[in-house]
């Protein structure tokens, strides 16, 4: 039996699976045409077809599955950014915990001076992970907090500084300017800072996540991504389009609200869930 191209109906179904997983039409079509070009067995079982799909998505994601950098600089400054409610503050708590268990001394800076109780929230995380929190009054200049945070981290010989920022929609230029200012002010103290800029993305977000990456990268020089709330969805497929277009490393994923609910990003696992091997998408495939 010679291998033939999968028929149009099967390819349509594959495309549907990808669209349902939030890859977006363009990316779904691209994966479809890759699969159509390769000569897969026409009579392939549903599982075999899904396997092919998983393999193609893995190929896109593999290059971006990268652990956190070694953080040789001291203090290594992380600026954590993203739109409202994606999980920035929680991710900082989880990461601080992880870095501390690696024997690093972590300092936190509460540069979200806007949202009600944002400072209190970070302080509670600071207590949980035993990290000092640099904070100013509500409503004060976030860049000032970041600056003081870095100064304190330098003075106390901290290994890592994590700066929490307020959520902001990427289309709000005044708020994006505020972010650019934080970066500028940090550089006054340490020209290489921030050494890492983490963009926190919510896995339930659809196509807008592409704009988020583009603009946060432009304004704050994003160096890596964390994708949160993957405990709530087997989708998060927009990450495939993001990986293809921006190639930014995905350092970790959030899988819950607890301190340990942070995992490294496994391209194959993620791809398999998208292809319908996960609990959620099984019915869609």
Ligand X SMILES: Nc1nc2c(ncn2[C@@H]2O[C@H](COP(=O)(O)OP(=O)(O)OP(=O)(O)O)[C@@H](O)[C@H]2O)c(=O)[nH]1
Q: Using DSSP bridges, classify how beta strands 262-263 and 250-254 pair: parallel, antiparallel or unpaired.
A: antiparallel
Q: Which helix (H) or strand (E) holds 226?
A: strand 224-228
Q: State the nearest-atom distance from the C-beta of 215 to Mg ion, in Å.
A: 19
Phi, psi at 71, each rounded to 5°: 60, 60
Residue 115 interacts with another protein (CB under 8 A)?
yes
Mark the segment that binds another protein (CB under 8 A) among 42-50, 68-76, 97-105, 122-130.
122-130
Chain positions contacting ligand X, by CB under 6 A: 82, 84-90, 112, 115, 118, 166-167, 169, 200, 228-229, 231-232, 254-257, 261
Q: Which helix (H) or strand (E) holds 200?
A: strand 196-202
Q: State the nearest-atom distance from the C-beta of 232 to another protein, in Å.
A: 3
Q: How far, in Å, are 107, 122, 130, 142, 208 from residue 158 at the CA level?
A: 7, 18, 13, 20, 36
Beta carbon nearer to ligand X, 32 or 229: 229
Smallest CA-to-CA distance from 85 within 168, 199, 178, 206 is with: 168
Beta carbon nearer to Mg ion, 98 or 115: 115
Q: State the nearest-atom distance from the C-beta of 215 to ligand X, in Å.
A: 14
Encoded one letter per residue, x for contact with K ion by CB under 5 A and - for no contact, window 174-203 reads ----------------------------x-
Q: State the nearest-atom distance from the C-beta of 210 to ligand X, in Å.
A: 18
Q: How many residues bind another protein (CB under 8 A)?
A: 45
**How far apart are the C-alpha atoms of 164 and 78, rounded to whole Å?**
9
Rg value, the chain, Cα: 21
Biggest CA-to-CA distance, the chain: 73
Residue 231 interacts with another protein (CB under 8 A)?
yes
**How far apart are the C-alpha atoms of 142 and 161, rounded to whole Å?**
15
Residue 56 interacts with K ion (CB under 5 A)?
no
Quick check: 226 and 200 in contact, CB under 8 A? yes
Residue 121 interacts with another protein (CB under 8 A)?
yes
Interface residues with another protein (CB under 8 A)? 16, 19-22, 24-25, 83-87, 93, 114-118, 120-121, 123-125, 167, 169-172, 202, 204-211, 229, 231-233, 235, 238, 257, 280
């Amino acid at each position: 039996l010679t291998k033939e191209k999968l028929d149009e109906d099967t390819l349509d179904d594959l495309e549907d699976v990808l669209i349902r997983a939030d890859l977006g039409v363009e990316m779904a079509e691209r994966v479809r045409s890759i699969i159509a070009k390769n000569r897969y067995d026409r009579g392939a079982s549903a599982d075999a077809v899904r396997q092919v799909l998983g393999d193609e998505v893995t190929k896109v994601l593999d290059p971006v599955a990268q652990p956190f950098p070694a953080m040789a600089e001291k203090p290594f400054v992380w600026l954590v950014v993203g739109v409202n409610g994606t999980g920035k503050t929680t991710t900082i708590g989880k990461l601080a915990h992880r870095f501390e268990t690696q024997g690093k001394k972590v300092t936190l800076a509460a540069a979200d001076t806007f949202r009600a109780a944002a400072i209190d929230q970070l302080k509670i995380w600071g207590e949980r992970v035993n990290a000092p929190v640099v904070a100013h009054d509500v409503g004060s200049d976030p860049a000032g907090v970041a600056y003081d945070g870095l100064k304190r981290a330098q003075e106390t010989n901290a290994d890592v500084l994590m700066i929490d920022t307020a959520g902001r929609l990427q289309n709000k230029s005044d708020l994006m300017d505020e972010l650019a200012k934080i970066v500028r002010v940090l550089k006054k103290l340490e020209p290489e800072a921030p050494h890492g800029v983490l963009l926190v993305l919510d896995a339930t977000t659809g196509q807008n996540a592409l704009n988020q990456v583009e603009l946060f990268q432009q304004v704050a020089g994003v160096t890596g991504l964390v994708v949160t709330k993957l405990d709530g969805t087997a989708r998060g497929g927009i990450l495939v389009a993001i990986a293809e277009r921006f190639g930014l490393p995905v350092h970790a994923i959030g899988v819950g609200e607890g301190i340990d609910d942070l995992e490294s990003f496994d391209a194959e696992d993620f791809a398999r869930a998208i292809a319908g091997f996960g609990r959620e998408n099984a019915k869609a495939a």
